[in-house]
């Protein structure tokens, strides 16, 4: 018996060593942690239960039979984050470059199936050289099986991808179908075709970092949601994100203890809006002053900065926030901001996370670039996302809410539950200057008359009361009381039950 136990410990030690000490040292030299070290940092101490430690590949071509390392390049299992269950896989670059084989993919599929059946999030840590070429189509079949699990898990359990090394070719499509993608600066990259192929086909000279690094994907492509300095910071932020999310689509988001008075008045908000209607202000100041303990977890901070998305808590309950940012492009909606916000709204709706919308929007960005690139259809994505969302929706209009952009931003007309406005808000088809020049075109040659007409228009329409008279605004509130009013609004909606007409699925304007 003692010999058998020793044999087990020997095999376990061999499996834990991955590709060997030399390759582990090489991984550390690049500033990267190993697959197991990453799992240890991600999960609660001693909570990890590993599966399939002794799995090996079955390939015999190209001399592969001579090297059959345990685990086959991926560590899989489950554990807890602050006591809540998650499933995790972590690709091991020290074993055959973390390349995906048939059995490697099967290990990932196994824990994804378990996650769906048991209702817990899946966190994938990607660090792989791609498909294992020696296995040919078997490796591609493995990718396809993983993709199918991503699709089946979508909207059922949260899926989080952490890119901590290379992720190229077909491998990129699995993270692309997950809910959140995090990257590490200077050590992770994603692209469908690498720099060498790009050079051969298009004669473009580009580095891996420029083509698919963290800066590219967080600022330009919007593929990734955030980038961090190193593995440790990235994993700590994943833990923080998981704390905001429900385990699955049948559970409510977690409620946390809070130490911030829901009745708190914030007098500084009464002077947040500048007297000059064209002067910007920072919408993040409002968000943090509404949130419990000023805690705001922003999503896609570096992309489409004219709109803000992220999570706060109110009375300990998770709330998704979508807010126009007057500091960037005056807070207009455009292609990028509409796509960014629509995806976030749809995620919140999938997982029963209430949505708070803070509105200061002068309209959609005009111009041929926007029109030629389909702002109509991209703008419709946000409109569609809000209209189909059945979670509690509370809206606060702080200043401008003009034209179609007013309707799009979770207005009463898109089934907004409770819609508030500050006294400084202006709800109209357009600004006074533009409206006056259309209505009183005959007086354009007389600046004095036009100024008078503009003043009359502002007095009549540049306020929230016309909309309030028609019931499109539920209440005009004092800015200082916004936290209290919003918290009470969400509290009143906690038992909300709404359903859309039956359908197999909708056909969102992609």
User: Catalytic amino acids?
Assistant: 169-170, 404-405
Distance, in Å, from the CA atom of 502 to the CA atom of 463, rounded to the nearest integer, reads 39
Rounded to a whole number of angstroms, the distance between the first and last alpha carbons of the chain is 62
Distance, in Å, from the CA atom of 158 to the CA atom of 180, rounded to the nearest integer, reads 9
Q: Which two tokens stand for residue 61?
A: 């071509």
Decide: 430 and 402 in contact? Cβ < 8 Å. yes
Decide: 473 and 406 in contact? Cβ < 8 Å. no
Q: DSSP states of 372-402 as a string? A: HTTHHHHHHHHHHHHHH--S-EEEEEEEEEE
Distance, in Å, from the CA atom of 223 to the CA atom of 217, rounded to the nearest integer, reads 5
List Cβ neighbours of 7 (8 Å cut-off, separation of 6 or more): none
* Residues, the chain: 510
For residue 216, CA distances in Å to 88, 223, 224 come to: 26, 9, 9
List Cβ neighbours of 485 (8 Å cut-off, separation of 6 or more): 420, 475, 477
R_g of the chain, CA atoms, integer Å: 26
For residue 11, CA distances in Å to 37, 70, 71, 75, 210 come to: 19, 8, 11, 15, 42
**Cα 303-427-446 angle, rounded to 5 deg:** 105
Q: Which two tokens stand for residue 361?
A: 């929007």
Q: DSSP states of 37-73 as a string? A: HHHHHHSPTT--EEE-TT------GGGGGG---GGGG
Burial (0-12, 13-18, 19+ Cβ within 10 Å), 198: middle
- In DSSP terms, 180 is beta-bridged to 160
Which string of b and e fits 106-118 if b means at least 16 CB within 10 Å?
bbbbbbbebbbee
Decide: 297 and 321 in contact? Cβ < 8 Å. no
């Amino acid at each position: 018996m003692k010999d058998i136990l020793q044999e087990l410990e020997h095999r376990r030690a061999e499996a834990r060593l991955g590709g060997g000490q030399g390759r582990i040292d090489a991984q550390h030299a690049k500033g990267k942690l190993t697959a197991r070290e990453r799992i240890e940092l991600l999960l609660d101490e001693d909570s990890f239960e590993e599966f399939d430690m002794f799995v090996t590949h079955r390939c015999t071509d190209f001399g592969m039979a001579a090297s059959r390392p345990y685990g086959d390049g991926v560590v899989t299992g489950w554990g807890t984050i602050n006591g809540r269950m998650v499933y995790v896989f972590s690709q091991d670059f020290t074993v055959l470059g973390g390349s995906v084989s048939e059995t490697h993919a099967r290990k990932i599929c196994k824990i994804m199936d378990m996650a769906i059946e048991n209702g817990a999030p899946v966190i994938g840590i990607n660090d792989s050289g791609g498909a294992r070429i020696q296995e040919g189509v078997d490796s591609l079949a493995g990718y396809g099986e993983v993709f199918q699990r991503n699709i089946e898990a979508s909207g059922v359990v949260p899926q989080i991808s952490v890119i901590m090394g290379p992720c190229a070719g077909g491998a990129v499509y699995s993270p692309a179908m997950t809910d959140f993608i995090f990257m590490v600066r200077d050590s992770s990259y994603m692209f469908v075709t690498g720099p060498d192929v790009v050079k051969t086909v298009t004669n473009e000279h580009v580095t891996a970092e420029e083509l698919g690094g963290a800066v590219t994907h967080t600022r330009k492509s919007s593929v990734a949601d955030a980038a961090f300095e190193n593995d440790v910071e990235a994993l700590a932020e994943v833990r923080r994100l998981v704390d905001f999310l429900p385990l699955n689509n049948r559970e409510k988001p977690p409620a946390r203890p809070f130490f911030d008075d829901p009745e708190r008045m914030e007098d500084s908000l009464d002077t947040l809006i500048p007297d000059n209607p064209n002067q910007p202000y920072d919408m993040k100041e409002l968000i943090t002053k509404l949130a419990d303990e000023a805690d705001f977890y922003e999503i896609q901070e570096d992309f489409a900065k004219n709109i803000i998305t992220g999570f706060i808590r109110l009375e300990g309950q998770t709330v998704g926030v979508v807010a126009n940012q007057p500091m960037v492009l005056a807070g207009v909606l455009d292609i990028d901001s509409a796509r960014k916000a629509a995806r976030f709204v749809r995620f919140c709706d999938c997982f029963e996370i209430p949505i708070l919308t803070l509105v200061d929007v002068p309209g959609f960005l005009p111009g041929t670039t926007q029109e030629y690139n389909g702002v109509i259809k991209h703008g419709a994505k946000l409109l569609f996302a809000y209209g189909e969302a059945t979670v509690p929706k509370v809206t606060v209009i702080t200043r401008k809410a003009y034209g179609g952009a007013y309707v799009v931003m979770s207005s009463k007309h898109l089934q907004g539950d409770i819609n508030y406005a500050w006294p400084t808000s202006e709800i109209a088809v357009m600004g006074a200057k533009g409206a006056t020049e259309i209505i009183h075109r005959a007086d354009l040659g007389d600046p004095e008359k036009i100024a008078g007409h503009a003043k009359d228009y502002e007095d009549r329409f540049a306020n929230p009361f016309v909309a309030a008279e028609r019931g499109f605004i539920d209440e005009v509130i004092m800015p200082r009381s916004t936290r209290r009013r919003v918290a009470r609004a969400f509290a009143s909606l906690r038992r909300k039950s709404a359903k859309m007409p039956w359908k197999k699925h909708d056909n969102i304007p992609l």
